[in-house]
Amino acid sequence: MKFVGDRHLRKEDPRLLTGRGRYVGDIALPGMLHAALLRSPHAHARIHRVDAARARAHPGVVDVVSFADLGTVARALPIVPPHAELRGRNFAPLAGDRARYVGEPVAAVVAESRYAAEDARELLEVEYEPLPSAQTLSPGAPAVHEDIPDNLAGRVILARGDVEAALRAAPRVATLRLRIGRGGGQPMETRGLVADWNAALDQLTVWASSQVPHQIRQFVAELLDLAPHQVRVIAPDVGGGFGAKLIVYPEDVLIPFLARRLAHPVRWLEDRLEHMLAATQEREQEHEVTVGFDDTGRLLALRDRFVHDTGAYTPRGLVVPLLTASMLTGPYRIAAVESSFESRYTHRVPVTPYRGAGQPQAVFVIERVLDLVARETGRDRARVRLANLVRAEDMPWDTGLPNYRGSGHVVLDSGDLPSVLRRALESARYDALAAENAAARTQERLVGVGVACYIELTGVGPFESARVRVDAAGRITAWSGVTTQGQGLETTLAQVAADELGVTPGDVTVVAGDTAGVEHGIGSFASRAAVVGGNAVALAARDVHAKARLLAAGALGCAEADLEQAGAAFADRRRPERRTTFAELARLAGAATAALGVEPGLESTRFFQPADMTYSSGAHVALVEMDPLSAAVRILGYWISHDSGRLINPLIVEGQLQGAVALGIGSALLEEITYDETGQILAGSYMDYLLPTATDVPTMVIDHLETRSPLNPLGLKGVGESGTLPVAAVLASAIEDAVGPQGGRVTRMPLGPARLLDLLPPPVVK
Amino acid sequence: MTVRSGSPAHDIAVIVNGTERRARVIPRLLLADVLREEWGLTGTHLGCEHGACGACTVLLDGEPTHSCLVFAVQADGGRVDTVEGLAGDGPGLHPLQEAFRTRHALQCGFCTPGILMTLVAYLRLHPAPSEPEIRETLSGNLCRCTGYQHIVQAALDAAATGRAAAASA
């Protein structure tokens, strides 16, 4: 019985369905104190003085801390990854003499209850000197960091071929200016931490709602001057991440600092307003893209220049704009390409990856270009795409652009992109829809169909780790360096381990997100967990199985070739009454002498270090109708063809795609973080930052292709973010089709109600 | 969450999942906080604390209620049902929970308790809902993971299971 490929029901569900999950806010330790953070109300201000006298006197208050109290912890967090062109700056656990965005933490109050802590926060007196702030990407804005007067965090040019010559030679040339606004991951569980200093052990335990517990351990150890083994970080049940929990935040260091300082457990739970103000965001870019093409719609040259808003700090360096720039050509063959950007500081929340990480912008840009080329040449949008897609026989396809990690080019490893698109078109009955829409438009209904293709970079290294152990009671545990915040990795990793070990997923307990489980780990982001973590689990489980067989053959006095396995039991097929079990073999291994020929313990720790990223691909088709008066958009149909390699669990993959499309719909039509000219956030609650509800998201039809990746033993590709990538592009395409040639052109995302109104065609005069 | 800041305390008694619970609370203590912090019923989650996400939905005297918008004292003498009580005392799952598992209607699980309580109350009154009605009912509960499709299917499945059980009873 093989479990990889099975629509296995999730192991984590019974506990989550009955209210027995354990999220960070559910952890209550004896003597636990509660922290509340005071955040800067100014986008840019000098901080002259923090007066905590009244707050300290409030009943129940235990401590108040500002920058001056941080001692050696009063320094900037590290920036990862480095880049030669990056002029990076990062935040400290609390703002020092200057606050650089509304929401930057300035002081912490610790009290016996959250109510008391929040009351006392109101009594803190901070003397701010408000300063003009940078709220545009244009040159001349006030400097965010004094030593970087032009606000330039980095400038990068990626190129393949001579784009200027190719543009000059192209029969046709066209230019688009495109803008994308800010949004956020918005997990339903906000961020939060519990930290506990154990003085008897000189050890710190930190529960964090995080996608990267190992990185938190590294940063906490570094800033608190502890050895890594003195810090254990656990990501318990995590209520969604989507990138909002990807970086190490000031609070991730501050709360452990407070726990050690006070020798008491301390809990901090972000509220939703804080999340809107202080959790990182993404997507804001301004593009100017020029394309050269011929009369058949074949792309010949592409030049894109964009400005990227990186906010006040760069905790993730240049990752987001590098992803946009390096993934620009997407699934298309273009001989000459130049993609360049300037990343600029603003007095706003830092920008770091959220679901899609720079790639939705790249897809929006290139797909807008494809629609433009189709319109200019009078050709069908799907057929123009088919003519330009990388073909199956081109694989592996070197796009010629360096990848975002600088480890080589973006090289598509495998896939059949034209088949993916054709299947999406067939699934949607694309040609029939076009005819039906034309007929509907004669009755003055605004109905349109859109199409978009994409590739997604997945399975990012550098490595992931796994430890698989059978203990003396026969329990099988797989520890992984990845975390799980809804992706079902407790189930999928158990499916992988079960196949290698010859048992069932129910026999395997997966522990993810605990630095005590594996010494080294990276975490869950960049659609990497199943790919890199899954292959690491496979390698470790394969080792354990080989070791068990060696021991079993020895114990039963037979050749390994004569072993028969039934679940946890091994027998000699010639003498089936002689049998042994995983538990017995684990006890044997637990007392292994040199003579046994194996190292002690029925366990293995292995790493999977992918040679390169593996690329998923797909195509989406959407059918929309716009209200001719209100311009409200209704999505009438949605079709997905997707190739993420071999599927471990199709049920979970479908859930990932559906959720990712819903998030994409939000960031295309509903969600936008905007700021006024002083840097005050204009969408601070769910009353004005609108997440998609069940009435906004259509039923999706999903079709899978499974082109195995040659880059890992299991043939996997990632999927978690894929569904988000083309949504803005496909809806832009469909909306333009709906409004017709008399209507407007989509050059901005998101499309709020006002922008949709501007797209409506002029009313027909009767 | 005991008495602080000179606030007067109130003694409350609430039937929670069929069992009487008591607490001494300050007037502004939220129902969600007394459930979670005083009575250890952490299955009820707080997602926005402004009544917009629905994660904290419990049944107060049978009605779906945002426990982040109700004070604990308002529940005094009343009945509160939370996700912990949904399956009853048995080891199994409630049919709606079972349908959620079968349909993969949850991912991170944070919004799930509020959605279950919303749907349980709705399906009691509407045993044969249409898909648009289910979607309308769910429109006060935000889920960031699933895209709702599997939740809608699970709700329709659970309704069908409920009708079949009623027909055979």
Q: Report pLDDT for B1.
A: 46
Domains of chain B by residue range: 10-85, 95-168
> How many Cα atoms sit within 13 Å of A551 on the Cβ side?
28
Of B5, B84, B146, the CB nearest to A659: B146
Q: Does domain B95-168 have CATH number 1.10.150.120?
A: yes
Q: Taking chain A (766 residues) in consecutive chunks of 10 residues, what is each chunk's mean pLDDT?
A: 93 97 97 98 98 97 98 96 95 97 98 97 98 94 97 98 98 98 97 97 97 98 98 98 97 98 98 97 98 98 98 98 97 98 98 98 98 98 98 96 95 97 98 93 93 97 97 97 96 98 98 96 93 97 97 96 96 94 97 90 97 97 96 97 97 98 97 96 94 98 97 96 98 97 95 92 72
Q: In this complex, do B100 and A487 lie within 8 Å of one another by their Cβ atoms?
A: no
| φ, ψ of residue A700 in degrees (nearest 5) | -110, 145
Nearest CA to A537 out of A487, A598, A589, A494 is that of: A494
- What is the ipTM score, two decimals? 0.97
Burial class (CB in 10 A: 0-12, 13-18, 19+), B63: exposed
**Three-state secondary-structure class, residue A282:** strand
Do A686 and B53 make contact, defined as CB atoms within 8 angstroms? yes
Residue of A nearest to B138 (CA): A694
Q: Are the Cβ atoms of A25 and B42 closer than 8 angstroms?
A: yes
Rg of chain B in Å (alpha carbons): 17
**Percent above pLDDT 90 for chain B:** 91
Residues 43-62 of B with CB under 8 A from A: 43-50, 52-53, 55
Please tell me the predicted confidence (pLDDT) of residue B5: 52
Distance CA A548, CA B156 (A): 47
In single-letter form, the type of residue at position A658 comes to Q
CB contact under 8 A, B50 and A238: no
Measured distance CA(A212)–CA(A283) in Å, rounded: 21
Q: What is the set of domains in chain A, with CATH numbers?
A: 13-131+189-239+245-278 (3.90.1170.50), 285-460+611-759 (3.30.365.10), 464-608 (3.30.365.10)
Could you tell me which residues come within 8 angstroms of residue A227 by beta carbon, excluding any fewer than 6 positions away? A221
Contacts of residues A749-753 at CB distance under 8 Å and 24 or more positions apart, as own/partner, are A749/A179, A749/A180, A749/A181, A749/A283, A749/A364, A749/A667, A749/A668, A750/A181, A750/A183, A750/A667, A750/A668, A750/A669, A750/A670, A750/A671, A750/A672, A751/A633, A751/A668, A751/A669, A752/A669, A752/A670, A752/A672, A753/A630, A753/A631, A753/A632
Residue A443 confidence (pLDDT): 87
How confident is residue B3, by pLDDT bands cut at 50, 70 and 90? very low
Instruction: Give yes or no for a contact between A341 and A325, defined as CB atoms under 8 angstroms apart.
Output: yes
Residues in chain B: 169
User: Which CATH number is B10-85's, of 3.40.50.970, 3.10.20.30, 3.60.150.10, 1.10.10.10?
Assistant: 3.10.20.30
> With contacts defined as CB-CB under 8 Å, which chain B residues touch A272?
47-50, 53
CA–CA separation, B81 and B60 (whole Å): 7
Q: Identify which of A16, A23, A694 has the shortest CB distance to residue B106.
A: A16
Q: CA B52 to CA A186: how far, in whole Å? A: 13
Is 0.95 surpassed by the pTM of this model? yes
